[in-house]
Chain A
């Protein structure tokens, strides 16, 4: 198993957001996490790269890397954990004082200390792949939301992570811009990236996922293939949620 999460728990003050989560992700697998707001799905994703530090739980990778959050966790192991994954944010979080290209090259050059000429070529290739080669010298505020998010994806890819994390990547976008971002994500699915999506795009999740998790109230209520969870959910809460999302009126 590429990534194994066991017994993950996280509270913010008295508010228990994750109440013991077990997740497994295989290499090249696409996992989608769905659920109502406040269900803990974003927190779960943010625990995978320790943007939120879990109170309890063990995260293990297939190369033997393991963090047990019940023990004191060193800065180094947090950094190693973060190096494994790239993250795409709901609000893009591009660096506004850097051009699209600089946003992509920043990590490889400054953090990984790779050759800046090579990195630049790779970054241009990544921007071409997300359809933004002609915009690479523009600043984020000169780009649309969909374009910014595609730069955000290129920025994460440039670090050559083993795992890509997407935190509701289309939720802040105008409806007509969602497609261009989903298309880029579809390309990544074809390239067999290991990915975890937190998403409200049920149809997209059904199309691309190998596995879907439905969360509610800090628990995993149901998990399985998209067919099992999205087409024929066993749990009442899953059925109700899908009912509300798919037929809002």
Chain B
């Protein structure tokens, strides 16, 4: 087999590497991909997504169909279509009507819209799960609906929504691997690039899987800590 040196900055990897040497030398580029793309993509999309989700949840809880219907259509459209198709529409589709967006922002848009739709349902359900008496108690001390929501309902709904939102967040970490298909240089794309040169698909993809697993494991520890912190006012 002819050996080609890898012709980019991952110069430590050559096509004849294998086994432990390949594994350890691939670690740095993959973690770099995670730090430069996977994690920022996840964080930015999740935070923006939560803002979209809160707005969407409020619209869906509104009395006016002027707000309710568009929000319901948005949620239905996002949940009813594959994430990969959404990514392709934004990155490969929009340029044909003159809208060209770089890979990373394309991915941010797609993931934000996704988180926004799914998390809006979580937030909506959490708000509805807070007993009506809490609203009433807030009203009787003179609060408006907005103040009651902000001061009384949302803090309690936040506690309820931590476990399902953490699930969404962890799913999002893994879903960002789809961004490799629109050329975002994230963790899994790095794995693919290296695998394309060394043909050691099993080792490199398992390595990528392990890194995802470690990230998600750390996140689940953060989730547990957050739940413990918020538990202080929950009846046991």
Contacts and interface: CB of A to CB of B under 8 A. Distances in A.
B141 A159 contact: yes
Contacts of A111: 141-143, 147
Contact of A94 (B137, B151, B159, B232): B137
A178 to B, nearest CB: 20
A87 B133 contact: no
B199 interface: no
Contact of B137 (A75, A85, A89, A110): A89
A98 interface: yes
B76 interface: no
B139 A82 contact: yes
A98 B131 CA distance: 16
B151 A106 contact: yes
A2 interface: no
Mostly, the B contact residues are helix
Interface string B201-236: 000000000000000000000000000000011111
B142 A82 contact: yes
Interface in A26-64: 49, 51
Contacts of A91: 133
A141 interface: yes
Of B131, B139, B141, chain A has the most CB atoms within 10 Å of the CB of B141
A86 B137 CA distance: 10
Contacts of A155: 137, 141
A95 B140 contact: no
A131 interface: no
B156 A93 contact: no
A95 B134 contact: yes
Contact of B140 (A75, A82, A97, A141): A82
B136 A112 contact: no
Interface residues of A, number: 28
B62 interface: no
A179 B116 CA distance: 51
A106 B233 CA distance: 16
Chain B: interface residue count, which band?
20 to 34
A79 B140 contact: no
A156 interface: yes
Nearest to A97: B233
A96 interface: yes
Of B131, B143, B233, chain A has the most CB atoms within 10 Å of the CB of B233
Contacts of B143: 107, 110-111
Contacts of B142: 79, 82-83, 107, 111-112, 159
A139 interface: yes
Given A111-B147, A141-B233, A95 B139 contact: no
Nearest to B232: A139
A146 B90 CA distance: 59
Interface in B128-175: 131, 133-134, 136-144, 147, 151-152, 155-156, 159
Contact of B233 (A49, A93, A96): A96
A93 B136 contact: yes
Given A110-B151, A139-B232, A96 B156 contact: yes
Nearest to B136: A51
A49 B142 CA distance: 10
Contacts of B133: 89, 91, 93
Interface string A130-171: 000000000111000000000000011001000000000000
6 contacts: A89-B136, A93-B137, A95-B134, A155-B137, A155-B141, A156-B141
9 tightest A-B CB contacts, nearest first: A107-B141, A93-B137, A141-B235, A93-B133, A87-B140, A111-B142, A97-B233, A139-B233, A96-B233
Interface of B: 131, 133-134, 136-144, 147, 151-152, 155-156, 159, 232-236
Given A97-B156, A111-B141, A112-B142, 5 more contacts: A79-B142, A93-B131, A98-B233, A110-B143, A111-B147
